[in-house]
Amino acid sequence: MAVYWDETKMQMGPHGTATILAFGDSWFWYPLPGGSLLNFLGDVVGARGHVILAKGMNGAEAQDYVEGKYRNAVRESLRLYGPTLSAVFISGGGNDFAGFNDLRPLLKSDCTGETQAAQCFRNGKGGFDQFLVEMDEQYRALIGLIYTRTSVDCHIVMHSYDYAPPTGKALFGREGWLRPALVDAGVAPELFKPCVDHLIDGFHGMLQNIAAGDPQHLHVVDSRGTLGPTDWANELHPNGRGFKKIAVERWKPVLQPLSLA
């Protein structure tokens, strides 16, 4: 498998260097049995001789790659490997809206009586539309940095998330990332899933708008609608079978025309 989460192991191993950098959150770093999306993307790109080096960590937010805790790691990896990279993969944004303290402010103070998912979200300052603007800015800042440190042949591949099930299931018996905020806001149970779908659709649309500015180099993998109920480990993360589905069914068709798979 041609993917590394430890740079020293990569440098001392048979591959030596990276041809793809992966800046990501838990979809790239998920540590539990079954593995993360990168476990399966490593198999997909390894067939073409590519080697992935991951930067980031579980819980990473989009801003962390640009001005937060992973800023230096991102910049140093681009300095070391940027000129010879074939691609940069980006996974970010999920932790910016998942979790009670992130999702709850996007919802109205009281959603009791609302009959449509979109009606449950606040707009204006601190609302969902401003959240998407902020995500847009963070992604564009990261992409701009990648542009300055890589060759004109480097592809940037982003992904949306699939429609996460707001079951309240998290890790090690902890409270879920999605359901508690929906309950606290008074969202009707039949709107739990439509509200999450509304979030995911809005995020995907934001990525599409960014990619439209440079379709030759910017690509979006649409993960939506890939997984069934048994493909999820919890509210936010697919299990190994689910991550493999996304890698093979959604990423591979995007990467093949780019000579990355």
Given pLDDT bands bounded at 50, 70 and 90, which one contains residue 175? confident
Q: For the ranges 115-129, 160-174, 213-227, which has the lowest average pLDDT?
A: 160-174
Residue for token digits 């030759």?
Answer: 216
User: Distance (Å, rounded) from C-alpha 204 to C-alpha 219?
Assistant: 12
What does DSSP assign to residue 160?
Answer: P
Given pLDDT bands bounded at 50, 70 and 90, which one contains residue 216? very high
Q: Which residues, including other chains, have CB under 8 Å from residue 124's CB and lie 6 or more apart?
A: 130
Q: Which residues, including other chains, have CB under 8 Å from residue 48's CB and lie 6 or more apart?
A: 259, 260, 261
The pLDDT assigned to 46 comes to: 93
pLDDT (average), residues 149-174 = 93
Q: What is the pLDDT of residues 79-90, one digit of tens each?
A: 999 999 999 999
